[in-house]
């Protein structure tokens, strides 16, 4: 289920961990809102903040190291073979929208629908979304929900850190003195602002795509994907409505037979 910690992404994971704990340390060493409370609850906020940071780091490593949904053997073609022809009122109706399952040119395995080969991971990934350089892993069918949870927790940590950083700046008579006193807090604050913006945009875009039951790869390459070429840019054969899409994404466990859904929707238009 999990890959080796000492893989190709060890440098990226190290940088992530160092930056996270360095910013946390800077916030703890300055007079921020973490310490401005009654003596009876003096350690409550700091402990909550550390726990939230630790939770985000654990989620990061889980998403980074887990199997995103690698295709390890030829996919089951029974759904494709069963729907090659459909009998209707004594006649055989051929569907022009049928798509042959593709054999990957790199790992030589039959790809299930919505899978794509990742050159960085050197595997085909089920329901491939994208390869994320920050986690040095693909985001696919198995780890996509946890990736969204990680983004939510990370955004909460960043927003809290933004507030703490802003509250910790000290006033000085001149800009030179102010910069000398607040230089480390300012660096931490700038990093927090940058990552808050990036994570916010990433989370919003992913939630939108999930609500449409599409992936980043499908959204960006709609016109080049065999099973989507015949569809309009606004048409998605996997879309079941926002509520059902969100429910399926967050509450479905295990491998999904996307061929069944795709061909059912295709025949509904015949």
The residues annotated with a catalytic role in the active site are 132
What DSSP string runs through 190-237?
A: HHHHHHHHHHHHHHHHHHHHHHTT--HHHHHSGGG-TTTTTS-TT--T
Of 171, 248, 153, 251, the C-alpha closest to 210 is 248
Q: How many CB atoms lie within 10 A of CB 8?
A: 12
For residues 232-261, b (16+ Cβ closer than 10 Å) or e, as one string? eeeebbbbeeeeebeeebeeeeeebebbeb
Contact 154, 56 (CB under 8 A): yes
Longest dimension (CA), the chain: 90
What is the separation, in whole angstroms, between the first and last Cα of the chain? Answer: 41
Contact 165, 185 (CB under 8 A): yes
Of 26, 170, 189, 54, the C-alpha closest to 34 is 26
């Amino acid at each position: 289920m999990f890959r080796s910690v000492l893989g190709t992404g060890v440098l990226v994971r190290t940088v992530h961990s160092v930056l996270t704990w360095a910013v946390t340390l800077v916030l703890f060493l300055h007079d921020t809102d973490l310490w401005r409370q009654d003596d009876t609850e003096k350690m409550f906020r700091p402990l909550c903040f550390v726990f939230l940071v630790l939770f985000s780091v654990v989620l990061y490593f889980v998403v980074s190291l887990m199997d995103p949904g690698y295709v390890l053997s030829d996919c089951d073609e029974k759904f494709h073979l069963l729907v090659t022809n459909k009998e209707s009122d004594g006649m055989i109706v051929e569907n022009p929208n049928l798509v042959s399952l593709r054999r990957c040119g790199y790992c030589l395995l039959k790809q299930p629908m919505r899978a794509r080969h990742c050159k960085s991971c050197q595997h085909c990934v089920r329901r491939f979304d994208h390869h994320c350089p920050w986690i040095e892993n693909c985001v696919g069918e198995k780890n996509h929900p946890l990736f969204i949870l990680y983004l939510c927790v990370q955004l909460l940590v960043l927003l809290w850190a933004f507030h703490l950083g802003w509250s910790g700046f000290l006033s000085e008579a001149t800009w030179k003195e102010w910069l000398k006193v607040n230089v480390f807090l300012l660096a931490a604050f700038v990093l927090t602002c940058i990552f808050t913006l990036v994570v916010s945009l990433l989370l919003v875009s992913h939630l939108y795509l999930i609500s449409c039951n599409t992936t980043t790869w499908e959204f960006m390459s709609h016109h080049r994907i065999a099973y989507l070429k015949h569809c309009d840019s606004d048409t998605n054969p996997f879309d079941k409505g926002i509520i059902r899409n969100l429910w399926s994404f967050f509450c479905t466990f295990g491998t999904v037979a996307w061929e069944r859904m795709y061909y059912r929707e295709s025949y509904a238009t015949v």
